[in-house]
Structure 1
Amino acid sequence: MTSGENLASMGVVTNVTAPRAPDLDLAVQAADAAALAAGVSVREVLDLQELGLVVDLFATIWGRDENPPVTLELLRAFTKAGNYVGGAFEGGRLVGACVGFFHAPAEDALHSHIAGVSSTAVGRSVGFALKLHQRSWALLRGVSEIAWTYDPLVSRNAHFNLVKLGALPAEYLPNFYGAMPDRINGADDSDRLLVRWPLRSAEVQAAASGDAVREPVGPNAVVALSVGPDGLPVRGRLDGDTSLVAVPADIETLRRVDPQAAQQWRHAVREVLTELVADGSRITGFDRTGGYVVRRTPDPLRDGALR
């Protein structure tokens, strides 16, 4: 009996690593490929100085130097307790980061609380690389789902979350965080759409390989909310089996130049989506031209989406 075998028989963890399951290897390979394509190195952030870089990055992105979205003390506690802080580095410079913490033990999930990419690295799929690293990190720890929230008015995030990543809408949360007076949220209500990311599903595995999850709209879709000639929301019919709910092309700019118009969009999207869901429909995808795809007929292949 070797010393390693003897230690293992006594329940002591050794440096002998059991072979990983094939799906775990694929998850790690997909994360590595995404990081390579984005031109970054993505890894856990544990060092105190580098955790400070995460705090500074988020403070810059959200324009909250005096009241950053996360604090150094909180991140230090998160990592000590085994939660997730990941960073995307270009050379020695941090250009993106993502922070998550575990749900209650029975829920088998990680909540991805905040993620952001520096303006100097936008458009290179750094966010995609961060999420795939987070996915592989979670799978290697036996976690099968990641959940997070995003502003349903931000069209690029809707496409990223529901199409590029294959996450499933689960719940509409009106004014979830309360007032968030920062560069991104302005004075708007902080409505959020909660999504769940089943890490081992066929759709998510395909998305991780670059095969985006596109929801076919079909020719009979009814426009429940559209963009009028003046750029404001126009309410349509809510009686279709498939409905399209539009969002503004750039809500963040709209908040700065016309806060009242932005508020009209917030209320219109909130009302239409919640009314459709209350009537038995669910969000099943996002179309860049028409907006959210909402279906009345249940789809067993994507069961668990917002209903």
Structure 2
Amino acid sequence: MDRVVVDAAEALAEAAELRSGVVTREAAEHEVDAVLERFEATWGEGRGPDHAMIRALLHAGGTVLVAVVDDEGGVDASATPPFATPGALLGATLGFLGWNEGLHLHSHMNAVAPAARGHGIGLALKLRQRAIALAHGVDEIRWTFDPLIRRNARMNLVRLGAEVAAYLPEFYGVIGDEITGADRSDRFEVRWRLAAPRVDRALGGEPAPHWSGEEGFALVADFESLRRDDPDEAARLRAASAAAFTAMARQGLRPELDEHGDYVFTDDDPDLDARPGQETR
């Protein structure tokens, strides 16, 4: 991988760390239990890998990364209480290599302590994961997310510049964890082409293009609250989305977010340039 690209990726990761008041790095052996606790605090006890699996991934060089409080004094005084303890482990992520349809890193879990969310820690972990992948010659990261959670769709498609590669209905079967409960485990798989024009645009803070397309799907602002407070309406929305996404996939389209935060189904070039009058790069 071009050293200039790798250096730029590391600089972005370091800038994200400064903004969030954490340091992101590979987990140390003594932190394996803390990583497991961070995952279980998010998804529930027994809903993630066990100690042995995390230890094996760490030993093999899988990206088992942590976000810990900066103990060099670079923390914003207005940060939430968890930031007050130097060395506190506020976030963790893990990934592993795969080769279906090309070599890539599959980013499987990414968790941030509830009280520390909203400070950019999840973004810092993603950018560190990107820098590490590029340094090892891997130029694509993939993961899955619930297509009805708008904030995740915005982070993935707009902030990071990933693109949806597949609709995977009932991908994990019945999960029954703290987040999904009895809901369907429908997922979008996204591909983050780490050095692609759309990623450069997104990470550079440039506006997204105006995506063409006549069909789409409107998202609610907070599907997780809807699922908790009105499960019948959440189930109706899930069923409607499954029908819409299945039809989208059959037509060879992919979803992007419009300026209102709703999906538009398009066949535009994923690297469409947002600037008026410019050709696709």
Compute the TM-score of the two structures, normalised by the length of structure 1.
Answer: 0.78
Give me the whole-angstrom Cα distance separating, in 2, the residues matched to 1:95 and 1:300.
33
Map 1:1-307 onto structure 2 (within 5 A): 21-47=3-29, 49-62=30-43, 64-65=44-45, 67-90=46-69, 91-104=86-99, 107-209=102-204, 211=205, 214-217=208-211, 241-283=213-255, 285-287=256-258, 289-295=260-266, 297-299=267-269, 301=271
Letter in 2 for 1:51: V
- CA RMSD of superposed structures (Å): 2.0
Q: Give how far 1:281 is off.
A: 2.5
Amino acid at match of 2:54: L
2:14 partner amino acid? D
Name the SS for the 2:64 alignment partner: strand
Whether the aligned pair in 2 keeps the contact of 1:59 and 1:69 (CA below 8 Å) is yes
Q: Does 1 or 2 have the higher relative contact order (CA < 8 Å, sep 6+)?
A: 2
**3-state SS in 2 of match to 1:84:** coil
Q: Offset at 1:208? A: 2.9
SS in 2 for 1:261: helix
Contact 2:68 2:90 in 1 (8 A): yes
| 8 A contact 1:159–1:287 mirrored in 2 | no
Query: Which one has a bigger Cα radius of gyration?
Result: 1
Measure the CA separation in 1 of the matches of 2:95 and 2:187: 17
Tell me how far 1:81 sits from its aligned partner: 1.5
Q: 2:92 touches 2:110 (CA, 8 Å); kept in 1?
A: yes
Contact 1:147 1:196 (8 Å CA) reproduced:
yes
The separation in 2 between residues aligned to 1:78 and 1:20, in whole angstroms, is 27
Give the aligned length.
Answer: 256
- Output the CA distance in 2 between the equivalents of 1:141 and 1:124: 28
**Alpha-carbon displacement from aligned partner over 1:27-84 (angstroms, at most 9, x marks no partner):** 100100011111111111131x31111110111112x12x131211111111112211
Matches of 1:171 and 1:105, distance apart in 2: 13
User: Any idea what the Cα deviations from partners look like across 1:118-176, whole Å, max 9, x if unmatched?
Assistant: 11111111111010000001001110100000000111000000000000100000010
Which consecutive aligned stretches of 4+ in structure 1 deviate over 4 angstroms post-superposition? none
- 1:222 paired residue number: none
Identity among equivalent pairs (%): 40
The CA distance in 1 between the partners of 2:121 and 2:258, in whole Å, is 22
